[in-house]
Chain A
């Protein structure tokens, strides 16, 4: 298949096994093992002599450690070692760098700074004994006042959390701005209408079903560290281990086995990973550490926690002129966000959304609080979730102010196809789009006018029904090396492809699947370029000894970056195959044409060689032109010229029980444009999962803290995730607008629905509450929060309910 074929929507021919040779619906290769319970997740791995680690965690949010007594734990017959911060200090490992140029305690030495922070590490013969020993460690704490409310973190006299940082006298982390403040002032001054709204995107947690863990084995003889880690970014992890622990990088092998969901939770490096390594060095044995669910929710990478103040300016006729926003960003006790270096607020400054504005400006202030670190996690595309939520709420607030239908108002302001490539007022260059077409399709699928008529009837009867719209523009595939790096590592991805003599192939990726189906999709990408059936292409990933360097799977970057790398490497193999075929056919490479996995002589299709024939010839004694080496393989490093910008229009329909505040999501229509779909079945699955995230985020998923800094979402009884009962049957549609700069035109889709859907649900609920004059309510819209909103007194959802 050529890119033109793909863009034209050509159907791939089928292989003998019935798979598309290229793009198309194909059942997943990886399913065979998962369906039989034969996946290999981290906790499934057992090594001879393996020991188990467990972490003692702080019960307090902010306290000085006055003493730690580990003697009783050490005396436990099954305990092999107990490691404290003091022990780590002697190794220079008590603190580690974060991905945002801060440091984070591996084990607390001076203070604990959030509830659940790592205080000591026990290594024992079995997992129960390790946890028994935790009870035997005595820690004396001197409680300190915690900083719980992010909005008061910078108050005069607020407790200073990071007194470990020299000269630190407040809880300020950074100020960052984007856009043109002065131009915004002008535009706002002349606008007919300006509306302001405080909007909270509360702290949530990605909560993959498999928690985080690590199994480390330091071989004393070879000096090689093998670390199995639940990592979305095995190469980045290896490099950071080398930098942190001073181990030579070639002696570190990071293996990311089957991963039970990531969603961003498995990007950062956690103290537990480091402790497993230290434990193995100390004991000389393999050490496994696996979080329990509370540890996962209370200590590993949270998401969001953005306190936003938005202002939108428009003409009386509804032309949106400007948008500005001020943000207090709660980063927790350590700034451990996994952002590209130049983007301390991630890509939040894409908050102008899908609209043509005259001016925009944002100012983000990062603050420390006595909460777990993290900040960029949970399928957020580097904080585009927050950005989309903000702009799509503000547009609805404006629609209410202007008494305009929210669909009409959006249609009047969406970017037009002829405006692409479009440079936003904060500097993003959107690659392609036909937004209005996507919007119209969503409205058609939803039967929008009929829904509004039904709503009017219901309102007349006193029933509460709401229709919510969200139009989002994503920015994924980070990213261009000159702009984007993490800890100095540029965000380009390698890829290697080798075609074996019999025409079967192996492709080695730098990215690592957590359920996205890479073993299938990447085989299809190579298949589309070489004509080799996807069942004949093995995809290797997740093992740093077996794969080329790259930054990993998050930010929906696998297809935009590594997918392009796979396409490029396959094209290089095809070019090499052309030379081999020309030598075999005794003609010039220029005389050959490519079709369906075969080079043939122009004008004489009978004279040609299939890719399989060429593979054998490439390994044979066939004489090749001067300078052409044998074999059939290639490598590539893909440095994306720009992000890709998938987008979509979502419509949610809810019913609200006015006696109880319960929200029922009745329908959800999602029209996505992510360019051509490599495997439509997998793409739809990705969207389904993200839509469930949107329902979860909007209705139930939030982690609040009480005034003492206790985490109120530390188990699945407290941190609620949507079940099959809260999710409607998703109604999907698609439009196809290829990316002009991606070799396959594809844009990536992994996080689109998570990014786009929460605003649709919230907008629907607030639309339902219109008879009560409700303009905004913060998520999650629990029955209590909806009832309070109807009373005109919605609660702060980041704090404990009182």
Chain B
């Protein structure tokens, strides 16, 4: 235990562009870290759990701050702050799940700094946006000197605090497919405002007449592989969204997670929440898809 609460020494570099950032990563090698909002990395550095030799500040990459329609997807720049995600009319129009989630991510001041890219790359096992990305089947655009590649959200996280972003790479964009008429929602239980989730579930439902045309379920903080619940989705796809069917799907979500006990709660409680919150998120998604309720 070393609660020194001051970062160990490091070199500071500031990138002026993505290319610049990539060049800096190349130059300084694997002991360099990118810092965006810093609200996950700096606390780890203060505890000296993270000790980068070089910190590359990418806050000047304002060209990575955007939320826009790009063909059949909503493209979100990696440097977009949580506050901007919360306030975005475009996201609100297509995916209420973002507003639901952003209102309960950390607190308003932290949301002024934290970025979507930082949230994905920190890869905290309780990260809310990881569940949102998995629920929506987002894709993440990663750039390196060699070019860009796209990673599905459900392949992006390779373990706790580990991602598919390699040395010399930078996450630049998150792409969410537009699904006209889909409803979505996010449900989170926390011990107190601003706390990490005890458990949370996100969902979208696209209706095809009286049946579920497409559905996505994301889970966080409950040890769900890739932050998602594919069996629950499969069970619902093509079925009418009756409460009974939603409950059956939610039960599968609960069964498929693998929570561990901590001071937020015992494993069985978290499993119960995964089921309960999946059900609630599905219900609200369906209601929103039908144009009912907020």
Q: A-side interface residues toward B, CB under 8 Å? A: 54, 57, 59, 115-116, 127-128, 131-132, 134-135, 292-295, 659-662, 699-700, 704, 712, 714, 717-718, 720, 722-726, 782-784, 787-788, 795, 800-802
Contact = CB atoms under 8 A, between A and B. Distances in A.
Interface stretch (B127-135, B165-173, B189-197): B189-197
Interface hub of A660, A714, A722, A795 (most chain B Cβ within 10 A): A660
Nearest to A783: B189
Given A57-B3, A784-B198, A784-B264, A725 B189 contact: no
Contact of A131 (B4, B266, B273): B4
A135 B4 contact: yes
Nearest to B277: A660
Given A659-B280, A660-B276, 20 more contacts: A54-B4, A59-B1, A115-B1, A128-B6, A131-B5, A132-B4, A292-B4, A294-B5, A295-B3, A660-B273, A700-B192, A714-B3, A717-B196, A782-B265, A787-B265, A788-B266, A795-B266, A801-B262, A801-B263, A801-B266
A9 B192 CA distance: 42
29 contacts: A59-B1, A116-B1, A132-B4, A132-B8, A132-B9, A134-B2, A134-B4, A135-B4, A135-B48, A292-B5, A294-B5, A659-B276, A659-B280, A700-B192, A712-B263, A720-B191, A720-B192, A722-B192, A725-B192, A782-B191, A782-B265, A783-B265, A784-B269, A788-B266, A795-B266, A800-B263, A801-B262, A801-B263, A801-B265
Contacts, number: 85
Interface in B1-36: 1-6, 8-9
B162 to A, nearest CB: 21
B272 interface: yes
Contacts of B192: 699-700, 720, 722-723, 725-726
Contacts of A787: 265, 269, 272
A780 B276 CA distance: 22
Contact of A292 (B3, B272, B276): B3
B92 interface: no
B49 interface: no
Contact of A725 (B5, B8, B193): B193
A102 B48 CA distance: 36
Contact of A660 (B189, B195, B196, B261): B189
A784 B266 contact: yes
B1 A783 contact: no
A293 B47 CA distance: 12
Contacts of A726: 192-193
Interface in B186-214: 189, 191-196, 198
A784 B194 CA distance: 17
Nearest to A659: B276
Given A135-B2, A788-B269, A802 B191 contact: no
Interface in B255-285: 261-266, 269, 272-273, 276-277, 280
Given A57-B3, A59-B1, A704 B193 contact: no
Nearest to A715: B3
Interface residues of B, number: 29
Nearest to B199: A660
A788 to B, nearest CB: 7
Contacts of B195: 717, 720
Nearest to A704: B263
A783 B198 contact: yes
Contacts of B261: 801-802
A674 B294 CA distance: 46
Contacts of A292: 3-5
A677 B276 CA distance: 49
A802 B194 CA distance: 24
A627 to B, nearest CB: 63
B44 to A, nearest CB: 12
Contacts of B189: 660, 662, 783
B42 to A, nearest CB: 14
A724 B261 CA distance: 28
A293 B5 CA distance: 9
Nearest to B262: A801
A800 B189 CA distance: 20
Contacts of B193: 723-726
Contacts of B266: 784, 788, 795, 801-802
B263 to A, nearest CB: 5
Contacts of A128: 6
* The 8 A-B residue pairs with the shortest CB-CB distance in the complex, in nearest-first order: A784-B265, A725-B193, A59-B1, A294-B3, A131-B4, A292-B5, A720-B192, A659-B276
A56 to B, nearest CB: 9
Nearest to B280: A659
A292 B6 CA distance: 10
A719 to B, nearest CB: 10
Contacts of A293: 5
Given A134-B2, A292-B5, A294-B3, A700 B263 contact: no
Contacts of A718: 263
Contacts of B198: 783-784
B49 to A, nearest CB: 13
A462 B231 CA distance: 31
A132 B2 CA distance: 10
Contacts of A132: 4, 6, 8-9
Nearest to B192: A720
A127 B196 CA distance: 30
Contacts of B2: 59, 134-135
Contacts of B9: 132
A431 B273 CA distance: 51
A294 B5 CA distance: 9
Contacts of B276: 659-660
Contacts of A782: 191, 264-265
Interface in B112-149: none
